[in-house]
Amino acid sequence: MQKSKIALVTLITIALASIFTLLSEYDILTIPLVGMMAVRWITAIVLIVNALTRRNLTTWILTCMALGVFIGLDFPNVARALQPLSQGFIKLVKTIVGPILFATLVYGIAGHSDLKQVGRMAWKSLLYFFCATTCAIFIGLVAINVTKAGVGIDVSKMPKEELPESTSTMTASDLAAMEHIDPSTHGLYKFTAFFRDTFPENIVKSVYENKVLQIVVFAVIFGIGLAMVSEEKRKPMVEFTESLSEAMFKFTNLIMYFAPIGVGAAMAYTVGHLGVEILKNLFMLLATLYLALIFFILLVLFPVMLYLKIPIKQFLLAIKEPVSIAFATTSSDAALPKAMSAMERFGVPRKIVSFVIPTGYSFNLDGTSLYLSLAAIFVAQASNMDLSIGQQLMIAFTLMITSKGVAAVPRASLIILIATADQFGLSTVVIAAILGIDELMDMARTSVNVVGNCLATVVVAKWEGEFDEEAPFRTEEIAE
């Protein structure tokens, strides 16, 4: 009861603060600066009390995000001095990139090592995963190019050392080599150089430099090689990668306890440097993501259901609970047990469910893939980079590969976004700004991840001719 009263007071306070802010913003009511400051910090006190009562990470992240905005508005010099805290959080996230990509990919491939038994199901699943995530990535690209949510941020106020000069990843030797070939073939040279640079020269060096594509290529080849050795020799390494991935999941969860401070500092620094105007761009990014995810469901997932004659109403009823869990916790893993049991009741055989959903958690994160393409171009737009279609497609191709290794834990997509930004010379300062609303975006993209993986089990079961057509209606009768 006490919590509900505090929640009600919090909502009323936020509503009143929002009304006063809008009245002041549009000159409907003249409120002195001191008065607006008082409104903000009374709201801050109420938010802190609410967070102390609820004691969950999501509430603290949202609370610190609001506190960061207030500090940026009222104490801009203090806000700028908080930047190292957000940088420290980003550094912590970067430490996860190599180990988590290697562990999840190797375990995902070698863990299903009986290739003769699962080969047909594997290629069908992977083909569907590839098509679905590719559609998601390109819908994200189209959406952000239509809304241009990142355009208009005043990058001149950003520290100059944070702004990249270009998106070129060509080395000095490459530039020298191109001087000796015809200009008409420069594009081909750059394309083949990109493929050359996906292969690791030294895996330790690749991990140290956060070369995501090189880590992925090494992990995939290593996983296939491991799957081909005898069970006796394969088992210890598979168990090691499973343990490593689980440990990195816990590592990520521990890092997320620092997330409220990192998010608050990032938001404070961003508002202190760029002013409150950037919030318009961030919420435009949020709206773009939600609209793009809705379009993905309507243009990709629903047509798949209609084509395969999957009963849509029954399917939505079946996935209602796991999707709700995913939305509330922003973690696909939290919804895993419910998703698997729901799909079994829906008529998908256990052997298909137990293969497709866990594999999909590494290779079929539709919502995350869409978000990554959208957020990467937002960062480029905010950095005032005019990316050509070719450069955007190159980023999309990179994300198409690297998003397959995203761990299904809260905000793990930041790992891939930061690593991709590093690879293409994008500014991590803008990513620090995205951290402020990442919690709100994570809810939507994680829910779509679960929907996509549940649908994938039905698609593969239908493709294999093993789907129980009567089960969905039995499930509906039980629910009623």
DSSP assignments along 309-351, one per residue: T--HHHHHHHHHHHHHHHHHHS-HHHHHHHHHHHHHHHT--HH
**Total residue count of the chain as it appears in this document:** 480
Q: Record the tokens describing residue 246, joined without a space.
A: 């689980």
Q: Where in the chain is the domain with CATH 1.10.3860.10?
A: 116-198+277-479
In a 3-state reduction of DSSP, which class is residue 302? helix
* HSE-CB for 80 with a 13 A CA cutoff: 9
Inter-residue contact 129 to 363 (CB < 8 Å)? yes
- Low-confidence stretches of the chain (pLDDT beneath 70): 1-11, 14-29, 31, 58, 97, 108, 111-119, 153-171, 210, 212-213, 273-279, 328-334, 362, 402-415, 427-429, 432-433, 435-436, 439, 474-480
- At 76-98, the pLDDT tens digits run 888 888 888 877 877 777 777 67
116-198+277-479 CATH choice from 3.40.50.10790, 3.40.50.2300, 3.40.50.720, 1.10.3860.10: 1.10.3860.10
| Cα–Cα distance, 354 to 125 (Å, whole number) | 12
Q: Record the tokens describing residue 396, joined without a space.
A: 């999309």
| Cα–Cα distance, 170 to 67 (Å, whole number) | 42
Residue type, 260: P
User: How far, CA to CA in Å, does 62 sit from each of 290, 347, 450?
Assistant: 18, 39, 23
pLDDT computed for residue 448 by the predictor: 92
| Cα–Cα distance, 475 to 454 (Å, whole number) | 15
Secondary structure letter of residue 201 according to DSSP: S
Cα 183 versus chain centre, distance:
38
pLDDT computed for residue 235 by the predictor: 87
